[in-house]
């Protein structure tokens, strides 16, 4: 009876080892994906900061409906990047936001950024027309 019990125990231990190995492999995959996602977040924020700074854009986007479970009331965009303000002067760092929340934030702010860029283009076009008129005089 002991040998039969021992055989069952050995197979259960083998199954445990196999499961631990599988869990370890899955954790390695998850760690790799997490690193990629964090790098993506950094790249995305850098991309936004670059053109906000280059074209001196600054805007505040009110948050009318909750973004996931984040306590955000306003999103500020300027040459320093993106800041998230909540109730009672609380402040949330973008690096603290999950990738899913970041996408929700971007879905909210990107149309405002687009509109600000369009206004900046109109300003530049107006300036370009003025410059053409001045060149004709010179």
pLDDT tens, position by position, 2-12? 555 555 677 88
d(CA 28, CA 16): 18
* Residue 67 confidence (pLDDT): 78
pLDDT tens, position by position, 117-135? 999 999 999 999 999 999 9
User: Residue 85, SS3?
Assistant: strand
pLDDT tens, position by position, 61-107? 988 877 777 788 888 888 877 888 876 666 667 777 888 888 888 88
Q: Does the pTM of the predicted model rise above 0.75?
A: no
What is the average per-residue pLDDT within 48-64?
A: 88
DSSP classification of residue 73: S
In this predicted structure, the answer to whether residue 1 has a pLDDT above a threshold of 50 is no
* Residue 10 confidence (pLDDT): 79
Tally of domains in the chain: 1
Cα torsion 128, 129, 134, 135 to 10°: value is 70
Domain residue limits at 43: 2-137
Contact between 105 and 75 (Cβ < 8 Å): yes
């Amino acid at each position: 009876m002991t040998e039969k019990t021992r055989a069952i125990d050995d197979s259960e231990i083998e199954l445990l080892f196999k499961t631990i190995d599988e869990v370890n492999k899955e954790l390695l995959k998850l760690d790799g994906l997490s690193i990629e996602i964090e790098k993506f977040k950094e790249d995305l924020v850098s991309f936004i900061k670059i053109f906000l700074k280059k074209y001196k854009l600054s805007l505040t986007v009110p948050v009318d409906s909750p973004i996931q479970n984040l306590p955000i009331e306003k999103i500020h965009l300027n040459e320093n990047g993106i800041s998230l303000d909540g109730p009672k002067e609380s402040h949330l760092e973008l690096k603290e936001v999950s990738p899913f929340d970041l996408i929700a934030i971007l879905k909210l702010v990107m149309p405002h950024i687009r509109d600000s860029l369009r206004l900046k283009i109109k300003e530049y076009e107006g300036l370009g027309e003025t410059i053409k008129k001045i060149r004709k005089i010179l």
